[in-house]
Structure 1
């Protein structure tokens, strides 16, 4: 269904539309709230493309189109602590609610734990983003805490939830899924 690949500068054009779509960016990175011009988006995207400290990947649909629909990865990687922070942004709303986010999450957790050698992967999610919270719980993330009124959207503050998954929990979750009868 999808393929995760490094982003290149030529992949920037869909971000012009996505970042200027208030619905697409509602619960995403705060930096998206302040970017509007092509130059601002180009400058931000250049930092993503050239970022060698974090694991950033474009989310592409498999098949004839090989269409970019978003990006995801693990940032703030701490090698001494063997931890990182998961993020995902599916900018193309036509592909929301189709299980792509869950598939990307599973792939990136596997990369984080098996390839990058992490022991802990955390994330933050806006409390009103119920679909994302459910998807993260289904992937094995556990609630660790609440950051009160940490996000301002729609002229109001709301809490952000801190969730994480540990390597042992992920292996156990994966084993349960693999042993589940069809």
Structure 2
């Protein structure tokens, strides 16, 4: 069973391992690429969970903390924000968790946070992510060309979004 809980400082320790795992972070936040020390990870984490424009939630599967997801950069004026998900525990990859969590966060964004639009960007090579977002109702809006540099190569990113009027509760 998947549950979402607000992130707290106590949830920090697994991030030290997850962010140092190149496979886990390859399609994640660019800032993760440069984090090398525990202090850098801790500083990022504490800033992220204290930013009032973010809605951060730990992902728990049968009580095990496996990652986090939420909406960042929320604009009260535009009633919009950017969806993100990071499943750091690779034992939980490929099990449909991303799709379920995406649906849960979208519902929260529209029903609890009062958003009208939720967007995201996803690396083109991240085919599992693209499929999960499509299953959750996100539609393709466009493409950022050569927007990410990973392992010495540039790749494109898709821009996708879902509107409250398109969402089925």
TM, length-normalised to structure 2: 0.97
Q: Which residue of 2 aligns with 1:7?
A: 7
User: Does the residue aligned with 2:165 lie in a helix, a strand or coil?
Assistant: helix
What residue is the counterpart of 2:137 in the other structure? 140
Structure with greater proportional helix content: 1
1:131 alignment counterpart: 128
Q: In structure 1, the residue corresponding to 2:27 is in which secondary structure? A: coil
Which residue of structure 2 lines up, in the alignment, with residue 30 of structure 1?
Answer: 30
Indicate which of 144, 162, 165 corresponds to 2:162: 165
Residues 58-73 of structure 1 mapped to structure 2, 5 A cutoff: 58-62=58-62, 66-73=63-70
1:91 aligns with 2:88: yes
Tell me how many residue pairs correspond in the alignment: 169
Q: Give the C-alpha shift of residue 88 in structure 1.
A: 0.3
TM-score, length-scaled by structure 1: 0.90
Native 8 Å contact 2:24 2:88 kept in 1: yes
**Residues 85, 98 of structure 2: 8 Å contact kept:** yes
RMSD: 0.9
In structure 2, what is the equivalent of residue 106 of structure 1? 103
**Does 2:50 align with 1:53?**
no
Structure 1 residue 53: deviation in Å?
A: 2.1
Flag structure 2 segments of 5+ consecutive residues without an equivalent: none
Which segments of 5 or more consecutive residues in structure 1 lack a partner in the other structure? 175-182
Deviation at 1:140, TM superposition (A): 0.9
Q: Aligned with 2:51: secondary structure?
A: coil
The answer to whether the Cα contact below 8 Å between 2:53 and 2:75 also exists between their aligned partners in 1 is no
* 1:51 Cα deviation after fit: 2.0
SS of the equivalent of 1:80 reads: coil
- Secondary structure, aligned partner of 1:36: coil
Structure 2 distance, partners of 1:115, 1:26, is 31
* Pair 1:115-2:112 in alignment: yes
Name the SS of the counterpart of 2:167 in structure 1: helix
